[in-house]
Amino acid sequence: MKLYLVQHGEAKSEIEDPERSLTANGEKAVARVAKAAKKMDIKPARIYHSGKKRAMQTAEIIGSGLQVPAQNIEAVEGLKPNDDVHPWVEKILQEKKDIMLVGHLPFLEKLTSLLMCGDENARVVLFRYGGMVCLEQKEDNNWAVAWVLRPEMV
């Protein structure tokens, strides 16, 4: 199984936009990542996002680029910046198909660290706005980074 973790694209400041929607540059960067991911034949069965506007917009852009049906892109509880990552470890372990989580820091860093080394504070991967990290579950059920795709790479 593969787990794709995406930090939302660059967002406007809270002063500029209280809902913190993506900036024009944020939209373009996420679209470039989605295009590159399509070329890599990435096919998540579902895309989950936090429900915050910037995460929703990022999920929709990537979902469109990867041709994920709109009904398979959904807001779920537990993906906000400071949410506990432990419930998601359990959910992920129950999944049989590849999934994508679109969220925020520090949540994504903590989840990645917990899956990879059992310490949510290890910060084993540095995320970037609009970047995508692919974790792959190994035969021993541990996780490893398969690859990282950052907007500046495409």
SS (H, E, C) the chain: CEEEEEECCCECCCCCCCCCCECHHHHHHHHHHHHHHHHCCCCCCEEEECCCHHHHHHHHHHHHHCCCCHHHEEECCCCCCCCCCHHHHHHHHHCCCCEEEEECCCHHHHHHHHHHHCCCCCCCCCCCCCCEEEEEECCCCCEEEEEEECHHHC
In this predicted model, what pLDDT tens digit does every residue of 21-49 receive, in sequence order?
999 999 999 999 999 999 999 999 999 99
Mean pLDDT of 114-125: 95
Mean pLDDT of 137-145: 91
User: Can you give the residue ranges of every domain in the chain?
Assistant: 2-153
pLDDT at 60: 98
Domain formed by 2-153, architecture: 3-Layer(aba) Sandwich (3.40)
Mean pLDDT of 125-133: 97
pLDDT at 31: 98
